[in-house]
Structure 1
Amino acid sequence: MTGMVPDSGTSDMVPDSGTSDIEPLLRVRDLRIAGPDAELVRGLSFEVDHGETVAVVGESGAGKSLTARAVLGLLPPGLRVSGSVRLDERELRGAPERRYRQVRGRRVAFVPQDALSVLSPVHTVGDQLALAARSVRRLSRRAAAERAVAALERAGIPDAARRARAYPHEFSGGMRQRVVIAMATVNEPALIVADEPTTALDPVVQDRILRMLGEPREGTRPGLLLVTHDLAVAAAHADRVLVMYAGRLVESGPVGPVLRRPRAPYTGGLLASLPGRGATGRRLPSIGGSPPRPGALPPGCAFAPRCPAAADECRQREPQPHEAGDERLVACHRVGDLPDPVTELFEEPA
């Protein structure tokens, strides 16, 4: 990523892919998701390049999971969606279900938080993986079964041929999540969308599973859109990070600069709240208050009521994402006036 380009039709800006001949794998522009009474995602724009991992972070209710499901065309009924979602330069937003079925599993795959939500309890895991393979490829039953075993082996399931004959309840939580990863990758998709895929797992298993998601398959590393509440996970596994608050982008850019030296107060508050950052024996900093409800957003910046640096302008006018150095975007009126690091805003004096 070498620069920023303005998003047509909206004041948001998005990172440039840095090349003129290779288009992004996934390009989202001015995504808006509205319920009956309020907008839940408000003008979000971002890209995922081929082989790149982009982490989407923020508190519960920020719109992270809705964004991920919008890419897959799996939003609940009753929500209105506008904007653009392009995969391989093909527009998906507003496409008929037939077109989504053509890309799900083949070009884009989903890894959910709860493996049991997608695994059938009455079929063996091998049969379920083989069915996933045959749903998008012309394979014999034997070839599909062999492909299923190979996917289980890549996902780290020991004695895969035997375990393929087992049922989901015969696997531990960590092993079930590996099965779901095997199912998501059995057809070597170009993009994997993972929504909190390791929340319930211990850190060692979590790290192994996330590394598996980004491993090259058939010589190509898939793109990964990773939804997580864990900044440590984002720091360890992402190339870029997108921070969301109240349905909007707050800060985005390369994961190292953003998480080492955040520019937006909200990002600084998230980082200041991590255990181990401050001096021992001192009270752990936190962001006061709670995120606003979608139907009751304050005027101006949605974070202003919780922000220690909020000024009159912040309470009157919503900030738009703009370039702030280090190939990043920041939506904050007061970027140039804040302390460096901005985490100091949330830390109590010694």
Structure 2
Amino acid sequence: MTAQKACWQVGIIGTGKHGSRYARHILTDIDDLELVAISRRSETGKEQASQWGCRWHKKWQDLVDDPEVDCIIATLPPAINETVAKACAMAAKPLLLEKPMAVSSAQALSIHTCFTRQGVGLTIGQTLRYNRVIQTLRNELPSIGTLHSFTADQRLEPATLPWLDDPAQAGAGVTFHSAVHVFDALRLITGLEVVRVMARIRCVQSRRLEDHLAALVEMENGVVGTVDCSKIGPARSGRFEFVGDKGSVSGDQVHNIVEQTHDHKRQEIAIDDPVNTIVPLLKDWSAFLNGQRLNPIPGEEGVKAVQICEACLRSAEKGGWQEV
């Protein structure tokens, strides 16, 4: 990485619903990052820049070329991630790239390879890793003995952004935009890789891209389980359960609950209050930029998550088990 700086000057490409969250947290919660520029095609970007005290670039290429921008955050429809990311790498500007990293494993690998060859830092915004429940489940997993099976689901309300149902921009539906978080969390919690999947997808409320994914999942060591992700109704939840030969541990990352079950006895595990997961990611990213810690979520982690999602879509199309 480059030399340590008292304050890294950040540019954000894409300041819609999610990108604006990054902007606000940099302004209020992160001392060693300074928001100096944003890029958004609409005139709303000009208004945001005035509000946040930074420059506005209508074209994202101009933000990448801005000499005062040290590093970049990109929160964009994933279909254009490869083009934007490679431009950041060639400009030698570290990038925090929001999930999903790309709309195919080939694109994800191409992005990762480009940053590696250029020697530039690439961090993936798999923010669910910072959720208190996910971290607690990871810490408590050894207490249930040898892991044998799991279930994981994520329930979200129907998507309201039109581009999320546009194949040209989104690439896919809940598989890339929700399940990618779940698969990444499963890898983090268990320390195991997904070997193969068998999946089905369908459109319930959506028209073109799937809003329901159901998958059988086999991980290393013969661990098997199910993943069920949807954007169908208003009941938001994010449940995980892991079953071992000494008991089970479960939690809901939306409702901040973790429980253990041993010998017919159920016990709730006390955990800290929820955190806004963008804040700890930004703090770790800043520390990484300054050489004070390893990359919190390196590019290869994003590649692996996309590979699992792609295998699910392949299984839904072709039928049967698909290797990851």
Using structure 2 for the length normalisation, give the TM-score. Answer: 0.34
Is the radius of gyration larger for structure 1 or structure 2? 1
Richer in helix (by share): 2
Using structure 1 for the length normalisation, give the TM-score. Answer: 0.32
Richer in strand (by share): 2
